[in-house]
Amino acid sequence: MRNLIRFFIRHHVIFLFLILEVFSISLIFRYNNYQRVEFLNSSNVVSAKVYSIYSSISDYFSLKQVNQELAEENARLRTQLEDRIVTGRLINFHDDPDSLKPDYYYVPAKIIRNSINDQFNYITLNRGSRHGVRPEMGVCTADGVVGVIAHVSENYSTAISLLNSKLKINVKLKKTGAFGSLEWDNGDYRETVLNEIPFHIKISQGDTVVTSGYSSMFPEGIPIGKVIKVGLNKGSSFYAIKVALFADFKRLNYVDIIDFTRKDERDKLEQLEEQDKK
Amino acid sequence: MIKQVLKYGGMFIFLVLIQVLILNNIHLGHLITPFFYFLFILLLPFETPRYLQLLLAFFLGLTIDMFTDTAGTHAFACVLAAYARPSILGLLASRDTYESGSLPRVSTLGQSWFFRYALLMVLIHHFALFYLEVFSFSGFFGTFLRALVSSFFTIILILLSQYVIYRD
């Protein structure tokens, strides 16, 4: 026993080295399984605080741009509202008051950190569990989809950016309704790749890609981007489609987090389906 | 002792802030970022106990990981470089070996010595970092190039800093 202890003391450097390296590696592998290591991401207190102080200063430089974008969005929303009042869709014909509740709420949030040059990009937001943010909520701007919430702390949250190949989003083509999945290919931050659209579907440059509404993260029809290149994959029956994103990831500032009020209900229902398959 | 702790603690915070607030927002070309924070490990005194070097490198890496959402990638690369440091110092030992109490600086050991030292250390760190990041991602040659170009910019920054800030 004494020899063993002496052995460890004599070789403590190599043991410490191995322990630290194994620990680092295990962190990397565990991180891949979606939201495990709670304290080790940029929504933790220290790093989120630093980023929010920094962003409160750097925001002044983009005020003009942001103002203009907000004004444009206001105008667009006002037109939509007019439309709805005219067509009477704001008045629901059910008597059940609960059914009048909107399906989706939008939590406005500000981006306090954003990356576009990593291979797996993340975004940190200044809203957390106190504001009703939960993992797997969608994040979008007026232009289009931005990402999905991954980790949440009390006042902050981090989102997996669309520019992260770990995120796949269910989308469809606005014109034909054909659906596929969108995935970043680690290339340009302005483009992503649309997969799983079979050959028999007609597709042309300039077609708009929108969310499908098949997952409870995004409502149907939020714009994402437009088709810029249609290619053929050798040896597969799907197109290789390049999509130019509407949202400019280099200049993201304010976003909306989408809270689907009936998410639990829908998830529970769809879980039953999974059970049926077994 | 207290003075040392304050000095190196201040340097730690300073370098981490520079890295996450400024350098991580610089995109030289695509996917290339200089990792200047690594300077901390380079400048630790020769006599720092090896276990302390490893622990400091680990916490430095982990702090950067926390800010950039990269799990343990930076921690791994930093610990590896810190482990290799004594061997590299041995490799570069000139005839007038390191005097006790001296520091690894340009002023004490000369420009060419510091350059070779920084070069070897940065290469170890960057190659470990980039290949670990790639793990589930193809393209051996692209990664090689990225690691090389990033190393180049890191070394330029480190050398410049020696003439601007740390002239002691």
Touching check for A38 and chain B: CB below 8 Å? no
- C-alpha A176: how far from chain center: 25
What percent of chain A clears pLDDT 70, i.e. is strictly above it?
87
**Contact indicator for B4, B103 with CB cutoff of 8 Å:** no
- Considering only CB atoms, B80 lies closest to which of A21, A115, A116, namely A21
pLDDT category of residue A9 using cuts at 50, 70 and 90: confident
Residue-wise DSSP of B136-155:
TS--HHHHHHHHHHHHHHHH
Q: Is A195 within 8 Å of chain B by CB?
A: no
Q: How confident is the model at residue B76 (pLDDT cuts 50, 70, 90)?
A: very high
A221 found inside a domain: yes
Same domain, A158 and A134: yes
ipTM given for this complex: 0.85
CA distances from B18 to B32, B41, B109 (A): 16, 15, 26
Q: Check residue B81 and give its pLDDT.
A: 95
A107 and A6 co-located in one domain? no
Domain membership of residue A275 (yes or no) is: no
Amino acid (one-letter) located at A155: N
How far apart CA A167 and CA A190 sit, in angstroms, is: 16
Distance CA A163, CA A226 (A): 16
- The H or E element spanning position A161 is strand A157-164
Q: What's the whole-number average pLDDT of chain A?
A: 81
Residues of chain B in contact with residue A61, where contact means CB-CB under 8 angstroms, are none
* Interchain pair A20, B30: CB under 8 A: no
Same domain, A240 and A216: yes
- A45 and A21 part of one domain: no
Are A191 and A140 in a shared domain?
no
Identify the pLDDT of residue A36.
45
CB B75 within 8 A of CB B82: no
* A194 and A236 inside one domain: yes
CA–CA dist A84, A90 (Å, integer): 6
Domain-located, residue A190: yes
Residues of B in contact with A54 (CB under 8 A): 21
Query: Does B143 reach chain A within 8 Å, measured CB to CB?
Result: no
Q: List pLDDT tens digits, range A169-185.
A: 889 988 888 888 898 88
Match domain B2-164 to its CATH number in 1.10.20, 2.40.30, 1.10.1760, 2.40.10.
1.10.1760
Domain residue limits at A133: 41-165+251-264
Domain presence at residue A219: yes
Lowest mean pLDDT among A124-133, A160-169, A221-230, B130-139: B130-139
Say whether residue A269 is in contact with chain B using an 8 A CB cutoff.
no
Q: Does one domain contain both A179 and A227?
A: yes
Q: How far apart are CA A199 and CA A88, in angstroms?
A: 40
Domain at A223, CATH number: 2.40.10.350
Question: Are A185 and A141 in the same domain?
Answer: no
Q: Report the residue from A13, A54, A119 with minimal CB separation from B50.
A: A13
Residue A269 lies in a domain: no
User: Quick check: is A276 in a domain?
Assistant: no
Asked if A147 and A242 sit in the same domain, the reply is: no
DSSP H or E run through A240: strand A239-245
Question: Hey, is the C-beta of B16 within 8 angstroms of any chain A C-beta?
Answer: no
Q: Which of A17, A25, A40 sits opposite B65 (nearest CB)?
A: A40
> Using CA atoms, how far apart are residues B71 and B54, in angstroms rounded to an integer?
18
Q: Output the six-digit token pair for B7.
A: 């000095």
Question: In which band, very low, low, confident or very high, does the pLDDT at B39 lie, cut at 50, 70 and 90?
Answer: very high
A24 lies in the same domain as A126: no
- Going by C-alpha positions, the residue among B133, B88, B132, B138 that lies closest to residue B114 is B88
Both tokens assigned to A234 = 């050798």
> Residue A247 in contact with residue A168, Cβ under 8 Å?
no
A52 and A18 belong to one structural domain: no
Do the Cβ atoms of B76 and A24 come closer than 8 Å? yes
Is the pLDDT at A96 greater than 60, yes or no? no
CA B111 to chain A, closest CA, distance in angstroms equals 30
Subunit contact A115:B68, Cβ cutoff 8 A:
yes
Q: Which residue do the tokens 């034909």 mark?
A: A176
A122-141: average pLDDT: 89
Does the CB of A185 have a partner CB in chain B at under 8 Å?
no
pLDDT tens for each residue of A30-89: 765 544 445 566 667 777 778 888 777 777 777 888 887 887 788 778 767 766 655 555
Cα dihedral B158/B164/B165/B168 (nearest 10):
100
Q: Which helix (H) or strand (E) holds B157?
A: helix B140-164
3-state secondary structure of B82: helix
Residue A107 resides in a domain:
yes
Taking the C-alpha atoms of residue B168 and residue B163, their distance in angstroms, rounded to an integer, is: 10
Per-residue pLDDT, B85: 92
Note the residue count of chain A.
278
CATH label of the domain that carries residue A138: 2.40.10.340
Are residues A188 and A159 located together in one domain of the fold?
A: no
Q: How many domains does chain A have?
A: 3
Chain-chain contact of B72 with A31 (C-beta, under 8 angstroms): yes
Q: How far apart are CA B27 and CA A34, in angstroms?
A: 27
Q: Which residues pair with A158 in a beta bridge?
A: A124, A151
Amino acid in the structure at residue B56 = L
Domain ranges of chain B: 2-164
